[in-house]
Amino acid sequence: MLQMAHHSTAIEGNPLNSEQVSSLFRGEDVAAREKDKQEILNYLSALRLVDELGNKGLPLIERETIMALHSTLMKGLLPQEELGTIRSGRVAVLDHLGRIVFQAPPAEQVPSLLENLLQWINGPSRDFHPVIVSGVSHYELVRIHPFTDGNGRTARLLATLILYLRGFDTKRFFVLDEYYNTDLKGYYSALALADRTGELTGWLEYFAEGVAVSLKKVKEAINELSLESRLKEKKGQIYLDERQREVIRVLKREGRLRISDVQRMFQVSREMANRILDPLLENGLIVRRGLGRATYYELS
């Protein structure tokens, strides 16, 4: 929840870092603009709403669902009358020079466009993989731009809710928003390409790649925790510095390393590489194989 709140609001320009977000989550105050703090608190509240809806097993995603997400996200950030309310005027997305990079559909078209999207989500989309449904829904809500502000955040929450309801990420293991936030140029380029061409393949490839990358990070974290747990059980508590931990991680992934690999990893001399490996050898965490130039190291 903390990562999602941080990364999704950072995409929209919120300057608070992960530590500040954690402080707000714990009920502590931080030195920041009230608006920036409110955005974080609202996003955390909206994530709790997603959990609540997911746990209920919401049978349909209705207009009221999206309105509730938007109202929660934008409380105290927009006038009361604009919370969970379809916009009445035209909106556009501008670049840093004030040029229009995206023109949303006219306000009078929004109700029918939104209704069409919801009909597809609740009907024909059942034949498609949850990741595809989530990606299409994310893009379409951004394209429709039903609100005066908060459209991107609402779209990302809708995509998360769909994955949750369709059983793809019921334990909320991965954070797609981090993938977008670390590649903002790619995120906006993929959305813009779909806008220009009216064709969603490029966007869905980007979206699915984000899911794959995010899940891979989760897998690596689980493997690392699992390995550390096994090592502790086998050898007892052993202090490893960050470089030694990285050697263990790489050996877990690659199977074996040579001394020259360790030198390249940390940009150190052969002597220093040996000093990094020595505690691992002494504690029986790794073993040396081969002789001379053919020497390599493996996990014990």
State residue 92's pLDDT score: 82
User: Cβ neighbours of residue 234 under 8 Å, at least 6 residues apart?
Assistant: none
Q: Is the pLDDT confidence value at 229 over 70?
A: no
Q: Is the pLDDT confidence value at 81 over 70?
A: yes
Q: Hey, what amino acid is at 59?
A: P
What's the mean pLDDT when you consider all of the chain? 89
- Neighbouring CB atoms inside 10 A of 18's CB total 13
pLDDT in tens, 35-45: 999 999 999 99
Q: How far is CA 83 from CA 43, 51, 113, 283, in A?
A: 14, 21, 19, 60
Q: Is the pLDDT confidence value at 179 over 90?
A: no
Q: Is the pLDDT confidence value at 233 over 80?
A: no
Q: Is the pLDDT confidence value at 176 over 90?
A: no
pLDDT in tens, 12-61: 899 999 889 999 988 999 999 999 999 999 999 999 999 899 888 888 99
Banded pLDDT at 178 (limits 50, 70, 90): confident
State residue 228's pLDDT score: 65
Quick one: 2-217 is in which CATH superfamily?
Fido-like domain (1.10.3290.10)
State residue 223's pLDDT score: 72
- Could you tell me the two tokens for 274? 């040996």
Q: Is the pLDDT confidence value at 129 over 70?
A: yes
State residue 239's pLDDT score: 72
State residue 283's pLDDT score: 83
**Measured between alpha carbons, how far is 72 from 75 in angstroms, rounded to an integer?**
6
| Region 171-193 average pLDDT | 85
- Sequence ranges of the domains in the chain: 2-217, 238-299
State residue 230's pLDDT score: 66
Three-state secondary-structure class, residue 129? coil
pTM: predicted TM-score of the whole model, two decimal places: 0.75
Buried b (16+ CB within 10 A) or exposed e, 92-125: ebeeeeeeeebebeebeebeebbeebbebbeeeb
State residue 171's pLDDT score: 61
Share of the chain above pLDDT 90, in %: 59
| Phi–psi pair at 289, nearest 5 degrees | -120, 155
| Region 172-179 average pLDDT | 80
pLDDT in tens, 240-280: 778 888 898 888 888 899 999 999 999 999 999 999 999 88
**Measured between alpha carbons, how far is 188 from 177 in angstroms, rounded to an integer?**
13
Class of domain 238-299: mainly alpha
